[in-house]
Amino acid sequence: MDSPQPLRLYVPEPTGRPGHETDFSYLHLSPAGAVRRPAIDAAPVDTADLAFTLVRVLDEDGRALGPWAPPPDVPLLQRGLRAMMKTRAFDAKMLIAQRQKKISFYIQCLGEEAIAVAHAFAIQPGDMCFPTYRQQGLLLAREDIPMAELICQLMSNGRDPMRGRQLPVMYSYKRAGFFSISGNLATQFIQAVGWAMASAIQGDTKIASAWIGDGATAESDFHTALTFAHVYRAPVILNVVNNQWAISTFQAIAGGEATTFAARGVGCGIASLRVDGNDFLAVLAASRWAAERARSNLGPTLIEWITYRAGAHSTSDDPSRYRPADDWQHFPLGDPIARLKQHLQGLGAWSDEEHRRTQAQLEAEVAAALKEAERYGGTLIDGHVPSLESMFEDVYKDMPPHLHEQLRQARTAQDRH
Amino acid sequence: MARMTMVQALRSAMDVMLERDPNVVIYGQDVGYFGGVFRCTEGLQAKYGRSRVFDAPISEGGIVGSAIGMAAYGLRPVVEVQFADYFYPASDQIVSEAARLRYRSAGDFSAPITIRMPCGGGIYGGQTHSQSPEALFTHVCGLRTVMPSNPYDAKGLLIASIENDDPVIFLEPKRLYNGPFDGHYDRPLVPWSQHALGEVPEGHYTVPLDTAKVFSSGTDLTVLTYGTMVFVCEAAAAESGVRAEILDLRSIWPLDLPAIVASVKKTGRCVVVHEATRTSGFGAELVALVQEHCFYHLEAPIERVTGWDTPYPHALEWAYFPGPARVAAAFRRAMEA
């Protein structure tokens, strides 16, 4: 017998690094309209093929094709386009505000706008989303969340609903079905399942929507969420946003090579879909399918949204150090805003002129909101920070004696200063 | 009044709260049909149904994480981690999420959950069935950490913990489940049915959190302790002849500082006793507080009797466990100083 060859550790690498173009063939795309749409009561095991194909509605020419094309609803699509443009305009302005040191930190969702926005249109008031820090579209799709209030959170100023305790972007909006964002990755995924279990325990009709990125699926709470959702048939939508990158690490290092994240759902006995995340119509249709399934007590659904993180990970990140600078231009699923715009133009329901006008209007709206937020106190640099008491309040429901004492000490220290 | 073991008292507390509050749900590993490996939830699923009391997968992170989600919905989950030694996989959910949810959302969301964990040694439990991890919780701002030492307090504190709107780590010394234990492992167990603290009211009552109890009053020195060590200290006092004032903290953090300060100012001496390992254990915080608040009343250095800074051994259980002889020696040292 030959002597064995030395073993070698395999470490996945992206095909594209700075100066080299990415080979996106690993994505295994399906043509628009090609993937079947099962009944909402499909058995999880019967969705196995859907975990390895890609649900798409819009083709290259912006036409809606196949069984997943949602019923025509031009006003809704126009609102969707506007909400995506609003999300992008907001991100662009906040990026500048961070560079101007008006806010300390920001995270944009450039290129991923369709997923959160279309999903927001597919769920109902009272449902609860458990977002990550990259689902601001869930809030910006709504008309009842004032943009200025979001900016106050980003500025930690006197009108910050989080009272200056959280990093920028870590919003909490119970009234909008938007759970408090945590810096700890994946923790909210299992919490969403618990929320959904609670709704079922109480005989309610509300459902939960859980959010996680491709990189964070490697955290243990991803696994616990799938297990609990499956065991208790929790009314939850488990959204995996695969934007190909976790800061600098390619999705292969999270376990994405030669498999899909949707396949994890099937493995855990959960109906699963793999969907074009830059196709507004596909996101809307798949989200509705999963929501109806959950609301009909048919159990959870896992959806892997294929998209691309077009921007930097955060304002502290420089992606040109680990991936090609023009990568987004080559990403085969394109830009969600451009694709819905093309579709609406094909229907004669949108024009370049309308697009320009809407863009200008949104930019003015964001600029006005920024000005309004600045009126409630400036930035950290100006020394506009919340009161000392606010640092000690809400640790417990009632402030215990040791925190009263520490507040007194902090006041004394400040007075002396 | 009825006679109850600590197991029965804890079960009674959960029974009372399941009855009173439709938002109370109970789950954990083996907690449902089987009634728990220590019988603490026996009969509850049959009485209240599977949607109120149910079995969970073996996933501490999943159990605590889902409970936080349920609490965000508006339920009041009481979940069990089978042994305190196994809470570690839930650390992220406990520290980063349950403890901080109210603070980080400025009250938009909160996590009124109770996490029950059997703890402590003295049962030949070895490394992973004997630990006392309370210091890992008391260091976390936003948590309440509670440990009863007898059936009456166990029921009253558990009801108070479930009703409390803050997350509570409820540590149950499993050595005390069936009867008090003073560290004399060679003597027969006295069941709670023969002990005055085994008298437990059938219905609803609470033992308020943040209040210590003077377990036995004395004038020579103050003993700050909780859990199984309360009875060990009682035996050590009797055997040493030291008239010790034993404070059962009951709520470990936040704690009853006025009771501690009043007692130490009266006696002028203080001994801190816990099963947990010594370095950075909760005793260090107690020693610091007494030093800070009672310095001019102290007549001797503050003593600490604790588990050794080693993992909990199997064969050398009684050399590890801080028994009455070690505690009595510390009492005598404190008196001679």
How far is Cα B51 from Cα B31, in angstroms, rounded to an integer? 13
Tell me the pLDDT band of A386, cut-offs 50, 70 and 90. Answer: confident
- Per CB-CB distance under 8 Å, the chain B contacts of A389 are none
Tokens coding B100: 């901080």
How far is Cα B112 from Cα B167, in angstroms, rounded to an integer? 5
pLDDT of residue A417 exceeding 70, the answer is no
CA distance A347 to chain B (A): 42
User: Residues with Cβ < 8 Å from B271, sequence gap 6 or more?
Assistant: B221, B222, B223, B224, B244, B302, B303, B304, B305, B327, B330, B331, B334
Q: Is A261 helix (H, G, I), strand (E, B) or coil?
A: coil
Instruction: Mark yes or no for CB contact B165/A397 under 8 Å.
Output: yes
Phi (first) and psi of residue B280, to 5 degrees: 60, 20
CA distance B250 to chain A (A): 16
How far is Cα A66 from Cα A279, in angstroms, rounded to an integer? 13
Length of chain B equals 337
pLDDT of residue A342 exceeding 70, the answer is yes
Nearest to B15, CA basis, from B159, B176, B221, B164: B159
For chain A, list residues whose CB is within 8 angstroms of any CB belonging to chain B.
Answer: 128, 130, 161-163, 165-166, 170, 172-174, 179-180, 182-184, 187, 190-202, 208, 220-221, 224-225, 227-228, 231, 394-397, 400-402
> What value does the CA radius of gyration of chain B take, rounded to a whole number of Å?
19
Distances, alpha carbon A197 to alpha carbons A157, B51, B192, in Å: 36, 9, 38
Q: Which of A396, A398, A406 to mutate to test the interface with B (most CBs of B within 10 A)?
A: A396
**Of B69, B110, B142, which has the smallest distance from its Cβ to A191's Cβ?**
B69
Alpha helices in B75-221, H assignment, sequence order: 91-92, 101-104, 134-138, 151-163
Instruction: Mark yes or no for CB contact B108/A163 under 8 Å.
Output: no
Tokens coding B140: 């976390």
pLDDT at A249: 97
Report which secondary-structure segment, H or E, holds B80.
strand B76-80
Instruction: Mark yes or no for CB contact A165/B107 under 8 Å.
Output: no
Q: Is A234 helix (H, G, I), strand (E, B) or coil?
A: coil
Nearest to A88, CA basis, from A77, A78, A80: A80
Residues 124-153 of B with CB under 8 A from A: 141-142, 144
Phi (first) and psi of residue A189, to 5 degrees: -65, -45
User: Angle at Cα B119 formed by Cα B115 and Cα B121, nearest 5°?
Assistant: 175
Residue with tokens 């890992």: B136
Q: Which of A226, A394, A398, A406 to mutate to test the interface with B (most CBs of B within 10 A)?
A: A394
**Of B59, B108, B254, which has the smallest distance from its Cβ to A402's Cβ?**
B254
Interface check for B61 against chain A (CB to CB < 8 A): the answer is yes
Report which secondary-structure segment, H or E, holds B246.
strand B244-248
Summary mean pLDDT of chain A? 96
Cβ distance B181 to B122 under 8 Å?
yes
pLDDT at A416: 79
Phi (first) and psi of residue B78, to 5 degrees: -120, 105
DSSP secondary structure code for residue A248 in this structure: T
**Of A162, A190, A394, which has the smallest distance from its Cβ to B65's Cβ?**
A190
Report which secondary-structure segment, H or E, holds A92.
helix A74-99
Burial class (CB in 10 A: 0-12, 13-18, 19+), A126: exposed
Instruction: Mark yes or no for CB contact A201/B97 under 8 Å.
Output: no
CA distance B235 to chain A (A): 33
DSSP A314-338: STT--GGGTS-TTHHHH-TT--HHH
pLDDT of residue B253 exceeding 70, the answer is yes
pLDDT of residue B105 exceeding 90, the answer is yes
- Per CB-CB distance under 8 Å, the chain B contacts of A172 are 104-106, 108-109
* Model confidence pLDDT, tens digit, residues B155-208: 999 999 999 999 999 999 999 999 999 999 999 989 999 999 999 999 999 999
pLDDT of residue A384 exceeding 80, the answer is no
Report which secondary-structure segment, H or E, holds A272.
strand A271-276
* Model confidence pLDDT, tens digit, residues A144-172: 999 999 999 999 998 999 999 999 999 99
pLDDT of residue A385 exceeding 90, the answer is no
Q: Is B71 helix (H, G, I), strand (E, B) or coil?
A: helix
* Model confidence pLDDT, tens digit, residues B47-83: 999 999 999 999 999 999 999 999 999 999 999 999 9
Interface check for B203 against chain A (CB to CB < 8 A): the answer is no
Instruction: Mark yes or no for CB contact B257/A402 under 8 Å.
Output: yes
Global ipTM? 0.97
Cβ distance A85 to A359 under 8 Å?
yes
Instruction: Mark yes or no for CB contact A228/B68 under 8 Å.
Output: no
Distances, alpha carbon B323 to alpha carbons A150, B3, B235, B306, B317, in Å: 58, 28, 9, 10, 10
- The alpha carbon torsion through B233, B235, B241, B242 (nearest 10 deg) reads 10
Instruction: Mark yes or no for CB contact B66/A401 under 8 Å.
Output: no
Number of cross-chain residue pairs from A and B with Cβ atoms under 8 Å apart = 140
If you measure CA to CA, which chain B residue comes closest to A209?
A: B69
Read off the pTM. Answer: 0.97
Length of chain A equals 417
pLDDT of residue A35 exceeding 90, the answer is yes
Tokens coding B135: 């210091």
Active site residue B184: no
pLDDT at B303: 98
